[in-house]
Structure 1
Amino acid sequence: MIEKVTLDHTEYWKLDSKVMKYVFDIKVSIPSVAPPKEGFPIIYMMDGNSHFQYGRDVVRLQSRNAPKTFVAPAIVVGIGHHGTDKEVSKQRFHDFTPFAEHYSYPDRLKEKGVELGPHGGAEMLLDFIGQELMPEISRRYAVNPACQTLFGHSLGGLFVLYTLFTRSQLFTTYLACSPSIWWNDHEIFYYEKEFYERNALDAPKNLFIIVGGEEGFMVDDAKELVSEMDLKKVDSLHTAFYIAPEENHGSVVPTIMSRAIRFSNGVIPNSEVPTRQTQR
């Protein structure tokens, strides 16, 4: 007899967003222990249909021995799209990218014939997360509002950076894995510059930028962003940087998940701050 597998202490539901006019797949892993009086820390994961279970399993397995693993019991939320791979890809390009009057595409994207679809939905996605999803999560579960983390990879990593630079109040910790800094001719540097000019932090924040050592130009982009931010360093923003040896764009997420989640729990990794490259 073949039976479907059910994940313990894990829920799946859909959330129809009025802001986005889209129905998101929401997966939630809830610790099996009683919540502390302040509520559980929480980790929101973009591309939830791809990455949720990595985060879930790291937290559930390693929180059993938190004094040694430095991974505490936490709620993990996967924010997922639905449909075919092509439909999900187009939705990601819409949801994870900032609005711009004009868009510039690298030749490699044109050569692959990728169907990008419309762009510029990042602000609406942030409205969905802040106004619809987070209140619903807080209504259903015991959440510590002072310990909220956002994780994203690739375009999702770009979205993590954009969130920090434009709405830093939403989360405490930002985990940007292999962020697509290249998007629209590196326009994220514009938001980074505005962020520091506004001095916009309402409370201490943490940013961990991670990239696979085999990711070529994405390593160079990440080094440049980190060096730019290091020059403008402020005490209220702790930034760490890690290059995962021998990992590429497709392999990096499962290999760095423990390190990323330890960072969200306050464990500071060995951080490489690169020498400054070309100034934008």
Structure 2
Amino acid sequence: MLDPTSPWTPFQPQRQWMRPLETPAGRRYRVAVSLPDGPPPPDGWTSLTVLDGHRLFLAVAATASALATRPEKTGVRPLAVIGVFHDETQGSVEDARALDFTDTPCPEPDWTRPSGGAEAFRRFLVEQAWPAATQAAPLDGDRRALIGHSLGGLFVLETLARRPDLFARWISLSPSLWWRTPAVDNADDRLLLGYGEGETGRDMRRRIEAWAAEAGGEGHVPRLRMAAGADHGSAPFALIPEALRHASGA
């Protein structure tokens, strides 16, 4: 704990804002927005919505800001980053993730966390999170992307299968295909599928590679990227630049 009389002060990155939101059912979230410097394009900013904001938002936002300064070199154009956070004050974040990111019960009989609330979470994104973000900045509704990791990656695939109209670009990192293997018949190159070289738990790497080979059918091939040397926890951070290029339309 810092001495309150020291010259240290709380640090807040510039051009980032956050607000709380509550659903009609009483579920609480926070939504953060990180905006590029300068005026927005005529149609608004391209945007990337980041699930698991407590883990990934700051890393994605900082990398987006740094790489967008040289888009001709990095392939990352300026874009707004929207983070969706579970509110820690209402209980376990891991319980909240398991509920919000899954459409079906867990296949493992000893699983104790809640599940099956993904449709309600989709309504929250569409009816509350996205409108709140558009109040903070002009955003292009035709150029928005979604990124999720692990159970969040499974949510991305399930949402692509059920509501392909919601986002123009999709990024699923290390999706939890051990939970369920969704049938996605529109998994073309709008989808970036990423994983770590060292993801051996629950046969993750083999499952993801097999799903990518079969997804979408003939003529529909997702982009597949492997992070060399990365495990399940580090893979999303290693793949952030690739994810940002994908969200930018590169």
Match of 2:34 among 14, 29, 34: 29
Q: For each residue in 1:73-130, what CA deviation from the matched residue of structure 2 results, as whole angstroms up to 9, or x when unmatched? A: 1110110113279700011110000035xx4217xxx4xxx741x2101000001111
Counterpart contact for 1:10–1:29, Cα < 8 Å: yes
How many residue pairs get matched?
A: 242
Task: Identify the residue that residue 248 of structure 2 maps to in structure 1.
Answer: 265
TM-score, normalisation: structure 1: 0.81
Task: Identify the residue that residue 141 of structure 1 maps to in structure 2.
Answer: 137
**Is structure 2 residue 196 aligned with structure 1 residue 212?**
yes
Distance (Å, rounded) in 2 between the aligned partners of 1:38 and 1:226? 33
Partner AA of 2:129 in structure 1 = L
Counterpart contact for 2:189–2:223, Cα < 8 Å: no
When structure 1 is superposed on structure 2, of 7-16 and 83-92 the one drifting more is: 83-92
> Partner of 1:145: helix, strand, or coil?
strand
Structural RMSD (CA): 2.1
Partner AA of 2:69 in structure 1 = R
Question: Which structure 1 segments of 5+ residues have no match?
Answer: 268-280
**Is structure 2 residue 75 aligned with structure 1 residue 89?**
no
Counterpart contact for 1:41–1:148, Cα < 8 Å: yes
Distance (Å, rounded) in 2 between the aligned partners of 1:146 and 1:84? 34
Correspondences of 1:68-107 after superposition (within 5 Å):
68-83=73-88, 87-100=92-105, 103-105=106-108
> Partner of 1:64: helix, strand, or coil?
coil
- Tell me which of the two structures has the higher relative contact order, counting C-alpha pairs closer than 8 angstroms and 6 or more residues apart: 2
Q: How far 1:136 moved relative to its partner?
A: 2.1
Task: Identify the residue that residue 15 of structure 1 maps to in structure 2.
Answer: 21
Identity fraction in percent = 27
Task: Identify the residue that residue 8 of structure 2 maps to in structure 1.
Answer: 2
Question: Which structure 2 segments of 5+ residues have no match?
Answer: 1-6
Partner AA of 1:249 in structure 2 = H
Correspondences of 1:167-246 after superposition (within 5 Å):
167-183=163-179, 186=180, 188-189=181-182, 192=183, 195-196=184-185, 206-216=190-200, 217-229=203-215, 231-234=217-220, 239-246=222-229
Which ranges of 4 or more aligned residues in structure 1 deviate by more than 6 Å?
A: none
Distance (Å, rounded) in 1 between the aligned partners of 2:33 and 2:72? 24
Distance (Å, rounded) in 2 between the aligned partners of 1:90 and 1:96? 10
